[in-house]
Amino acid sequence: MEANNYCSTGSIMTIFIAENPLNYHAVAVSLPPMHPMINIAVRAARSAGNILLRYYEHTNTLTVTEKRKNEFVSEVDKAAEQAIIEVLQKSYPDHAILGEETGSHKGNDYQWVIDPLDGTTNYLHGQPQFSISIALKYQGQLEHGVIYDPLREEMFSATRGSGAFLNDRRIRVTQRKGLDGALIGTGFPYRDHSHLDAYMGMFRDMITDTAGIRRPGSAALDFAYVAAGRLDGFWELGLCEWDFAAGALLVNEAGGTVTDIGGGERFLESGNVIAGGFKTHAAMLQQIKPHLTESLKF
Ligand code: 2AM
Ligand code: CA
């Protein structure tokens, strides 16, 4: 499968190479002390959240530009990313950063992966479904992740090996046994329509065999909702690393499974992803399999 070429940052094109970013055996511990790096990520997410809330009632006054077809950015996205970077760099000046809006900042083996406003389209239309996503990788492996919904004051967080949390409460994926009765999240292709026919086939089969499909519009929050058991599963094609790096860790730490659309491990690279509880994920994989084209197979 080709690597996802659509994820350009605000500045430069970036290709992601990540071999199995979730390769570990999770040991669940309830309410471990917060790792200092998570505390900093939480602080950064709150700082960005304040900016998003400040402008949320006045989005009609924002200058919106189209980065590429159907991909919008405003000065709020940029200000929020700047606020996050300022907080992170104050504590960790040597860490590398990959931000949706400012691109790649070189550094040591730690890399922060930032989406300052996931769900920009919702935000600009005044729809209350958007979030901030911040992940930290060490040598390519996901270590920490936070996803913050500032409107609901919901802070989702996870540290590798320490479980997933919503505010200070432990969260878990659902134990559903398959697609029967399942509520599944997805994202529609909005920019690259080359896989539209394959996607529509998946969508049709998913509608037929589940209790319902949701398309809320912030992939980061969709992953957080899978982790919290609000969705049984999720799939989307063509995501960018910053949309779901934190979300993938959250789902894993909540006891779930995240793979590429073909079942492989290089989902951060392809951007084509399935996430869910173990059995729901397995059922989704089977449901999607007949619709995989050569270019979707890894
Ligand atoms: P963004 O707001 O950070 O760009 C959902 O399909 C994902 O795709 C979201 O996480 C969203 O992230 C991204 N996206 C970008 N442009 C979109 C659009 N026009 N419609 C829907 N999602 C979009
Ligand atoms: Ca995003």
Give the per-residue SS3 of 220-248.
HHHHHHHHCCCCCEEEECCCCHHHHHHHH
Report how far residue 59's alpha carbon sits from residue 112's, in angstroms, rounded to the nearest whole number. 28
pTM over 0.75: yes
241 lines ligand 1 (CB under 6 A): no
Any idea what the CATH number is for the domain that residue 195 is in? 3.40.190.80
Please tell me the distance between residue 132's alpha carbon and the centre of ligand 2 in angstroms.
9
- 7 occurs within a structural domain: no
Residue 83 belongs to domain with CATH number:
3.30.540.10
The single-letter DSSP state of residue 33 is: P
Are 197 and 167 members of one domain?
no
Q: What's the number of domains the chain is made of?
A: 2
Residue ranges, the chain, pLDDT below 50: 1-2, 12-19, 23-30
Strands 212-214 and 183-186: parallel
Q: Are residues 109 and 205 in the same domain?
A: no
Chosen domain end from 117, 146, 171: 171
- Asked if residue 229 and residue 139 are part of one domain, the reply reads no
Ligand 1 atom nearest to 188, measured from its CA: 6
In this structure, the answer to whether residues 124 and 224 fall within a common structural domain is no
In a domain, 197, yes or no: yes
The whole-angstrom distance between residue 19's C-alpha and the CA centroid of its chain comes to 18
- Asked if residue 201 and residue 138 are part of one domain, the reply reads no
Residue keyed to tokens 């070189």 = 106
Give the number of whichever ligand sits closest to the CA of residue 69.
Answer: 1
Predicted local confidence at residue 63, as pLDDT? 85
Domain boundary among 102, 137, 171: 171
Residue having the nearest C-alpha atom to atom 17 of ligand 1: 71
Q: What per-residue confidence (pLDDT) applies to 7? A: 85
Question: Does residue 177 lie in a domain region?
Answer: no
Asked whether residue 164 falls in the same domain as residue 42, the answer is: yes
Domain holding 81, by residue range, is 36-171
Q: Report yes or no on 79 lying in a domain.
A: yes
Residue 144: inside a domain: yes
Nearest CA to ligand 1 atom 11: 119
Give the Å distance between the CA of 267 and the centre of ligand 2.
15
Q: Are 223 and 116 contained in the same domain?
A: no
Q: Is 115 in the pocket of ligand 1 (CB under 6 A)?
A: yes
What confidence score (pLDDT) does residue 24 get? 43
3-state secondary structure of 288: helix
Whole-number pLDDT of residue 251 = 98
- Pick the last residue of a domain from 171, 200, 217: 171
In the chain, the N- to C-terminal Cα span, in Å, equals 5
Per-residue pLDDT, 189: 93
Cα 243 to averaged position of ligand 2 atoms, centre (Å): 4
101 lines ligand 1 (CB under 6 A): no
Residue 250 makes CB contacts below 8 A (sequence gap 6+) with 145, 147, 156, 157, 158, 164, 223, 224, 227
218 lines ligand 1 (CB under 6 A): yes
Tell me the CA–centroid distance for residue 131 and ligand 2, in Å: 9
pLDDT at 57: 87
Residue 2 belongs to some domain of the structure:
no
